[in-house]
Structure 1
């Protein structure tokens, strides 16, 4: 009996001296993310092949993926497919699709035509929102800058830690004026996030890292590109520019980054291993 009492006392002392691993607040959590402008599933060879797109994502091992140029029943270029849903099913992932455009169907009774960005996740999505930022519409023959949707936010639960994942697609035109407004809108939205310590912004920024219009972004977020290599992403066949990004807030640390050599789109995807602080 005395031996049992001594054993219980020793176990009690050990449990007080050594907290359980699940209760250790300082332990980082690993998260692999990808950003990929999928060009509506059309590769550099001009062929539509969404299964090929899914293979690139699957082979990367990414837990969370930001997608740009996603068609949902848009038109014949993507066979009127719901690409967000189809990729989620092919990859057994959850998805949040944030349309930039939401238009009536071409034929009566067909689904609405939508085009935008998306977040894929192996982890639960606690909530999601389609934010509005300034855009210059490609559907209007005489566009003027105006607020429009298509800036996705998905709160992803990673091993008990909520991480705010955003996906964006900034204006492609040579004039940076609209991108300047979009960066300002982005920073405003991120500043309103109560979980701002753990933010990951993924996207096709259509500007290189030293572009003046991106400078305000780097005052609040870090470019997660870690390699000494230039990390060029566009065009996919002979890359000349780095315009596709993984960026993180101070509560997230970049460990390693690579650009995947693939012609499944006109962009190459970026994959980054992150450490999320508890």
Structure 2
């Protein structure tokens, strides 16, 4: 309890569960496209805010040309934001632009969103989706990302992410598929400003689903965010990555 200008300010905490999940455009290890299965994994986890990677919007027949994020949001009754890392003209005979990228699902209101294209050199375009979310009166900057396949790309991309996040004051979480190992320079770079929630869990393998032996997916929290005991890798074959979840606590003053 703190006293400020004669008024009593009580620091409160709001708890929530966050997830990062590379959904491989909704296709599981059985090579079957099934968004209901993806939605069930998310629902059963109890996640409140989710960072998604490899999300199609009218992209190809691999996902039935569906607006994947809109379908998932409707099934889960959540709000969503989307960032198209790839944004191509429609195929002949179709009217919708073909998009592929990253997304955020949230049970809480998404107040603002912004998508940044990260330096990807001459490789597949990568991005960062920034959302500002009102979590029961606490403001959270929640970032979803999917980094490149080469170390030089990832080092440049993590530098940009740190610069973007540093411009925002308050609670922040960065979640996504970093395509990097926990002892790599990219994660070391990120942990100058963020804490890797799974740092003390060396067996938190997320890829490939079914025989996972690599950690590629992360939840990183800023100094104002506290993580609790629940840190879990969910073993499911609904995608080629396992999703990860963590229970967090945000502070707010009343």
TM-score (norm 2): 0.92
Partner residue in 2 for 1:271: 245
Partners of 1:227 and 1:257 within 8 A in 2: no
Partner residue in 2 for 1:70: 55
Output the CA distance in 1 between the equivalents of 2:93 and 2:47.
Answer: 39
TM-score (norm 1): 0.84
1:259/1:183 Cα in 2 relative to 1: closer, same or farther (>3 Å)?
same
How far residue 178 of structure 1 moved from its aligned partner, in angstroms, is 0.6
Question: 1:46-65, aligned counterparts within 5 Å?
Answer: 46-65=31-50
Deviations 1:68-105 (A, max 9, x none): 00000000111100001000000000000100011001
Partner residue in 2 for 1:17: none
Query: 2:176 aligned with 1:203, yes or no?
Result: yes
Q: Which runs of 5 or more residues in structure 1 are unaligned?
A: 1-22, 137-142
Question: 1:16-165, aligned counterparts within 5 Å?
Answer: 25-136=10-121, 143=122, 150-165=127-142
Higher share of residues assigned helix = 1
Partner residue in 2 for 1:3: none
Name the SS of the counterpart of 1:273 in structure 2.
strand
Partner residue in 2 for 1:166: 143
1:149/1:39 Cα in 2 relative to 1: closer, same or farther (>3 Å)?
closer
How far residue 192 of structure 1 moved from its aligned partner, in angstroms, is 1.3
Name the SS of the counterpart of 2:206 in structure 1.
coil
Partners of 1:98 and 1:149 within 8 A in 2: no
**Greater Rg over alpha carbons, structure:** 1
Higher share of residues assigned strand = 2
Partners of 2:127 and 2:147 within 8 A in 1: no
Deviations 1:160-211 (A, max 9, x none): 0110000000012xx4111110011111111111x3x300101000011110
Name the SS of the counterpart of 1:184 in structure 2.
helix
Q: Provide the aligned length of Structure 1 versus Structure 2.
A: 244
How far residue 227 of structure 1 moved from its aligned partner, in angstroms, is 6.0
Output the CA distance in 1 between the equivalents of 2:78 and 2:140.
Answer: 17
Q: Which runs of 5 or more residues in structure 2 are unaligned?
A: 1-7
Partners of 1:130 and 1:149 within 8 A in 2: no
